[in-house]
Structure 1
Amino acid sequence: MTTKIVNSIKYIIIFSIVLMSVIACEKDFENIGVGLVDNDLFVPKQATFEVVSYNKNVDSSRIFSNNPHLLGVTKDKNFGLLKASIVAQVNLATINFTENMSIDAVILDIPYYSTALESNSDGTPNFQLDSIIGNQDLEFDLKVYRNNTYLNSLDPENPELSKKYYSDETYSKGELLFTTSEFKPNKNDTVYIVERKFLDGDPSTVDDRDTIKPATVAPSIKIPLDTTFFRTHFIDQQNSGAFDSNDNFINYFRGLIIEADGTDGSLMTLAMSNATMTFYYSNIVLTNESESTGDLNGDGDTDDTDVPVKTKQTAIFSLSGLKTGIYTRDYTLAEDSNINTYLSNPDTINGEDKLFVQGAAGSVAVVDLLKGIGEEQLEEIRSENWLINDASLTFYVESDVDTIIPYKLYLYNYDEHTQILDAMTEFQLNQFNGVLEKTEDNKPLKYKFTITDYISEVLKSDDPLSFNKLAIKVYHTGDDPTAESDTNIKDYSWNPKGVILKGNKLASPTDEKRLKLEIFYTVNNE
């Protein structure tokens, strides 16, 4: 009992000492804070600097095989017409061609990006197609050609490097394998019926119908290709050596060109990494009657072996090899007839009132901060040793009625094609931003970038960073650095969306929505 009392008293004494220490520390902190304020050693200030910004046309975008790929046609009031086509290699399938083969169907299957919704009232699956812009109810032309241009994985001029493919390249078209003028996206395109006509050797009758659907049901584009072509160029060429290896096959059959055309419609982002070209065919298989269901050759018994029987078979050719695309733009169909002037002849001295930012071989906005601040003022600021608390660039959307605009833009070092400092230092804190901000009634308002670290480095007096030009482009997945050492920036964007922003040269020089650099800083009054 005595021991418990002693321990209790000991803990009370220790707690009292700690509490008194904390109170004393708090008084010390309060006194220090009062001293700083009263002495006026550091004074917070704000400065606004003009910025020169102008448009830069992007003639072509680099297209990687593992990126999502664009297919379709869309007309936008701000940017005119955009047509996107796909060029893709086809890899050799596991298949043994024979003289007795009969092709029932060859189906090119390209999955949509989609989201499964609650099933329909009749129990059938229901989907929403994702990553599609434009009018999905408008039909446009879709054609599939044999590609006669070899897609080389290595750069012919330097075989140590990979070959780069861009959106303005041309490809030689071979035979036409499919054409329609009535294509539009279809969320219900989840199955395909293959009519088997050659099981009995009579192509005039349908012997069976197979319902083809994936294990996980999802919508995809299913294009029936010309079976006569594949009979002539595949089965009839089985002894040519073209099918001895995948390399031989790719050199022989160089892939497909999937071409979209028209004056309006929709533009789809497709999962080409999962696309396939599937042969549905019949072939003679030697079968043992005792393992079958009956008399296969009609001789009255069921014990014959090696009976030739027409059998349904399938071979899947993947499109997992090299893939690229073709983008074609027509700005003459935009509502603003001056867009070509903005892009091809920008005012790089005084800046522009409108900035056109669009992906998929569109345009970027170049931002010249040094022209806005000036060399003389820059040296004066550096001599004052500003402590930068916050620095930002804000880009206001030109029209709040625009709805199909990027949810995010990206700021980078235009001169060196590298990440801006804040993109690397803040990449885990999500402070760099560039995400579209909206009004209370959900209309697009502005994009804001916090560039505090970058401005701190270029304004410091000792060993400052160079004042490089910056640029704004449409963001796409992969732009964010994965680590602080990831300094390179991919200055292309496959995202086809675009937005018009207010520039620096507005009608009213005091317009608060003009592009400007805002800095909050602290100076030492000693």
Structure 2
Amino acid sequence: MTKKIVSSIKYIAIFSTVLLGIISCEKDFENVGVGLVDNELFTTESQSFEVVAYNENVTRSQISTSNPHLLGVINDDKFGLLKSSVIAQLSLGSISFTDNMSIDAVVLDIPYYTTQLENNSGGTPNFELDSIFGKEDEEFMLSVYENGTYLNNLDPLDPTQGKKYYSNDSYTKKDLLYSGLFKPNANDTVLYVKRNFLDGDANTVDDTDTIKSATISPSIKIPLDTTFFRTNFIDQQNSGAFDSNDNFKNYFRGLIIEADGTDGSIMNLAMSNATMTFYYSNIVLTDETTTTGDLNGDGDTDDEDVPVKTKQTAIFPLSGVITDTYNRDYSEATSDIYTKLMSPDTSNGEESLYIQGAAGSIAVVELFKGLDETQFEEIKNKNWLINGAKLSLYIETQEDTIIPQQLFLYNYDAHTQILDAMTEASLREFEGVLRRDDDNKPLKYEFTITDYISEVLKSDESLSLNKLAIKVAHSSASFSDAPTSTLDTIVKDYSWNPKGVVVKGNNLINTDEQRLKLEIFYTVINE
């Protein structure tokens, strides 16, 4: 392949010193060429090129068990209504069922993500809930069902591959285990369990346990229907369902934790640390180490092998497959997002671009629009040395507060990282991090795509362009949009960040300065 002048070896000797200066200034494109104006060998210039950018609806996102999970309801003027529910398998707890068991409580416990603040004046731990969005003081309906759909770890069509779960999958709801109004509570750090069956009389409270986690951090505590577990767990003790973890997961297929309503808040939750706990009483035979007092009323304390009803606990971790469902309703939005997602103007582009995670929407960008093949070839033959190229997305409403801190740009056609994701990652230029103005208001996101544009302009192929896409960036311990190695090129379709932002597109009329366009900074060799 014939190389264009942007990479030609014959200029390396002449411009090696100059290039060092150019590279050092790459972060500040506006200053490229400062102090070099009098050099007669070259000229540094810049030029803007038209792009077409429009919205695309994301109908589903892949859900990973190890990623943060969304639960709740949020209603946004621009993006409409989002409801997210969680579906989770349970692992078999360490428990031996007997006919003498009596269940005091079954509690589903889901920890919040929190930050511990300074203790209150009385020394009480003080927490702030993290990763929660929307109206925290507004209640929404929270229900828990038995899941009737088997959650398979392997793909039934190809057992050599893990099964993929998506946000638009459907699940069968069976018995209702809980339903009630809910709102997040940073002070929910203690659980009180009434023990009713120690004396065999369910009408009396024999003792009350105060349950705190080791970290005393807040969590969602949901009381489940004890009658259901008596019928479906204790009374099925000889069915074989509890002989192994595989048998158990096939018999009891997990929980559906469903959020419903018209507004409220939505939370990222630490589902990997969630549990379902049995608090129960059971008859055990005492031994020498547990005997205290006269247990059988025979006048002495030598009461070994006396049957005594004791308080016990069994924990069933939420583990295995954990997934979410996202339910969106754009009719609740006061904006024109529905029209822009369902009927995007792919020819002229849009004035506003809606970018949101959680199976929301992305922006698609087509470069060098308006140029025919001949015009594009003329640009490629202009002897440009590309110093920088960037896309700037200005935020439409600076008063917005629930906006993502970072966007991510990638190759839309191939669904892969572009070259700059590797070469510019250490400089944090490519990443599309939110930039603020002098008043600390959100201003814009900026992407550096210098290497991508250089590759395009030195290619011999005509109009060798791909569409680009911009989505909300995601990062967790198990997955990040940013590449982790030179072989990490495939962009995953995970999307658990519910934040969204509206940015200005290319089809603006009165604010040309903030219109989305491609800016290229280059050096021209004076021959």
Structure-1-length-normalised TM-score: 0.91
The count of aligned residue pairs is 491
Q: Which residue of 1 aligns with 2:296?
A: 297
Partner of 2:167: 167
Determine if contact 2:435/2:445 at 8 Å carries over to the other structure.
yes
Question: 2: distance between equivalents of 1:145 and 1:77?
Answer: 31
Output one character per residue of 1:97-127: Cα deviation in whole Å (capped at 9) or x when no partner: 1111111111100000000000011111100
Specify whether residues 290 and 513 from structure 1 end up closer, same or farther in structure 2 by C-alpha distance, changes over 3 A only: closer
- How far apart are 1:380 and its partner, in Å? 1.1
Query: Is 1:313 the equivalent of 2:312?
Result: yes
Give the Cα separation in 2 of the matches to 1:450 and 1:39. Answer: 27
Q: Residues of 1 paired with 2:394 and 2:261: CA distance?
A: 33
What's the CA shift string for 1:142-173, capped at 9, x where partnerless?
Answer: 00000000011111111111111111111100
Q: How much has 1:291 moved relative to structure 2? A: 4.6
Question: Which piece of structure 1 moves more, 144-153 or 282-291?
Answer: 282-291
| Aligned-partner Cα distance in 1 for 2:493–2:325 | 18
Other structure's SS at 1:160 match: strand
Provide the residue aligned with 1:443 in structure 2. Answer: 441
- In the TM superposition, what are the counterparts of 1:385-404 in structure 2 within 5 Å? 385-404=383-402
Partner Cα separation in structure 2 for residue 401 and residue 38 of structure 1: 45
**Post-superposition shift, 1:45?**
1.0
Which residue matches 2:234? 235
Query: What SS does the corresponding residue of 2:227 show, helix, strand or coil?
Result: helix
Alpha carbons 1:278, 1:317 under 8 Å: kept: yes
Give per-residue Cα distances to partners, 1:449-469, cap 9 Å, x unaligned.
Answer: 011111111111557993110
Instruction: Name segments (4+ residues, structure 1) moved above 3 Å.
Output: 36-39, 461-466
Paired position in structure 1 for 2:6: none
Q: Report % sequence identity.
A: 69
Instruction: Give, in whole Å, the separation in 2 of the partners of 1:459 and 1:95.
Output: 67
Aligned residue for 2:76? 76
Which runs of structure 2 are paired with 1:340-355 in the superposition (5 Å)?
340-355=338-353
Q: Distance in 2 between matches of 1:372 and 1:434?
A: 26
- The letter for the 1-side match of 2:482 is D
Aligned-partner Cα distance in 2 for 1:174–1:139? 24
- Superposed displacement of residue 201, structure 1: 1.1
Find the residue that maps to 1:320 and give its secondary structure: strand
Q: Determine the structure 2 residue equivalent to 1:406.
A: 404
290 and 273 in structure 1: CA distance in 2 versus 1, 3 angstrom threshold = closer
User: What is the match of residue 131 of structure 2?
Assistant: 131
Secondary structure of 1:210's counterpart equals strand
- 2:299 & 2:462 partners in 1: Cα distance? 96
After TM superposition, the score normalised by the length of structure 2 is 0.90
Change (3 A) 1:200 1:159: same
- 1:3-48 CA-partner distances (Å, limit 9, x unpaired): xxxxxxxxxxxxxxxxxxxxxxxxxx99xx9xx9766111111110
CA distance in 2, matches of 1:152, 1:102: 32
Secondary structure (helix, strand or coil) at the match of 2:63 reads: coil
Q: CA deviation at 1:314?
A: 0.8
Any residues of structure 2 matched to 1:87-486 within 5 Å, and which?
87-180=87-180, 182-288=181-287, 291-336=290-335, 338-461=336-459, 466-477=464-475, 478-486=480-488
8 Å CA contact retained: 1:52, 1:372: no
What SS does the corresponding residue of 2:433 show, helix, strand or coil? Answer: strand
Q: Which amino acid aligns with 2:446?
A: K
Aligned 8 A contact 1:289 1:302 in 2: no
Distance in 2 of aligned mates of 1:173 and 1:129? 30
Corresponding residue for 1:492?
494
Aligned to 1:14: none
Unaligned runs of 5+ in 2: 1-16, 22-35
Residues 424-433 or 63-72, more deviating: 424-433
Q: 1:122 to 1:37 in 2, by over 3 A?
A: closer
Q: Which has the larger radius of gyration?
A: 1
Q: State the one-letter code of the partner of 1:174.
A: K
Judged with a 3 Å threshold, the aligned counterparts in structure 2 of structure 1 residues 381 and 228 are, in CA distance, closer, same or farther, namely same
Deviation at 1:428, TM superposition (A): 2.5
| Alignment deviations for residues 439-482 of structure 1 (CA, whole Å, 9 cap, x no partner) | 22222211110111111111115579931100000011011111
Structure 1, unaligned stretches of length 5 or more? 1-28
SS at match of 2:221: strand
